[in-house]
Chains A and B, each alone.
Chain A
Amino acid sequence: MEICRGNDELEISELDPFLAELLRQIPASTNPEGSPAAEQRLFSRPADKGEKESCAEWKLYVEPELRKFFHTATETVASDLEQLNGNERTFANRTLHIPAKHADAWLSALNQARLVIAAKYDFTEGELCDHYRSPIGSRRDLSLFQVNFYGFLQEFILREIIGCGEKRSD
């Protein structure tokens, strides 16, 4: 796999079928359904548990807006990922172009996916730092690899498109 910054886009080329499939799974991975831990992580409390009234108001007014916001980001990513669709029986490597204007949507969707997967599998901090574990041991190992792969993409988007590391002029 090769990643390079082009004109107003990020190009991920030489994507082998395995990594292409992991990318295709981003939208589905953002869905916390069936996992209360993942649901709680995406929609965490805005105040201490004792602040019942404010937590209830948040659930009523803010949470639906957050759901819409997260869903919009995921839809943008899903639409970019359509580039990877094609003849699934060929094992040729593929190329994905991520427009710079979609960078925030990608950061959000990748973060949603990482948080949901990590919550579902309850990964420890030690596991999350283990970047060398093989993805082929178990479903858990594959999911850990997925979290780290998405994290790698996030880092790249932050550095190459968002320009993190550049100092603010103001």
Chain B
Amino acid sequence: MRRQPHWGGSWVAQSERFAGLIHLDASPLRATIANPTIEEETQTGESLDLPWQVVVHNDPVNLMTYVTMVFQRVFGYPREKAERHMLEVHRNGHSILWSGVRERAELYVQQLHGYLLLATLEKVD
């Protein structure tokens, strides 16, 4: 099952995040108690572990030194690694900057947008 990113952390109020998950309706509850059924768990541990990747796309307006600085600041990469990724963006049109758990990937995408870089969150197939 594919989970949607929710742009969590400080951006999204917890109440908003959980609002859609809570359903209060008395009659189905009574029916459920009278005749209980066990629903299948659709969200497996495996699906949660699938990594997400942070992709940065080329933009000819952003300066190379600026992009390198952003990669150093956001990901803490040493200058050489940040430059390698910057050149990959420049030459290939995009570069995968990071992959891992969804929440952290979302945070990175938010930070990159704050620096006005073209960044997207993508699920690893």
Contact, CB under 8 Å: A164 / B7: no
Contact, CB under 8 Å: B79 / A62: no
Interface centre among A43, A61, A107, by most chain B C-beta atoms within 10 angstroms, is A61
Q: Which residue in B61, B113, B114, B119 is a CB contact (below 8 Å) of A118?
A: B61
Contact, CB under 8 Å: A158 / B65: yes
Contact, CB under 8 Å: A162 / B4: no
Chain A residues, CB < 8 A from B114: 66, 69
Contact, CB under 8 Å: A151 / B4: no
Interface: A128 (CB within 8 A): yes
Query: Which residue in chain B gives the minimum CB-CB distance to A162?
Result: B69
Interface centre among B59, B61, B121, B122, by most chain A C-beta atoms within 10 angstroms, is B61
Contact mask for chain A residues 149-170; partner B; CB cutoff 8 A; 1 contact, 0 none: 0010011001100101101101
Please list 19 pairs of residues, one from A and one from B, whose beta carbons are closer than 8 Å in the complex, sorted by A's number.
A46-B7, A46-B121, A47-B122, A53-B4, A57-B5, A57-B7, A57-B12, A62-B11, A108-B115, A123-B61, A128-B60, A151-B63, A154-B66, A158-B63, A162-B69, A165-B65, A167-B79, A168-B78, A168-B79
Interface residues, chain A, with chain B CB atoms under 8 Å away: 42-48, 51, 53-54, 57-58, 61-62, 65-66, 69, 107-108, 111-112, 114-115, 118, 123, 125, 128, 147, 151, 154-155, 158-159, 162, 164-165, 167-168, 170
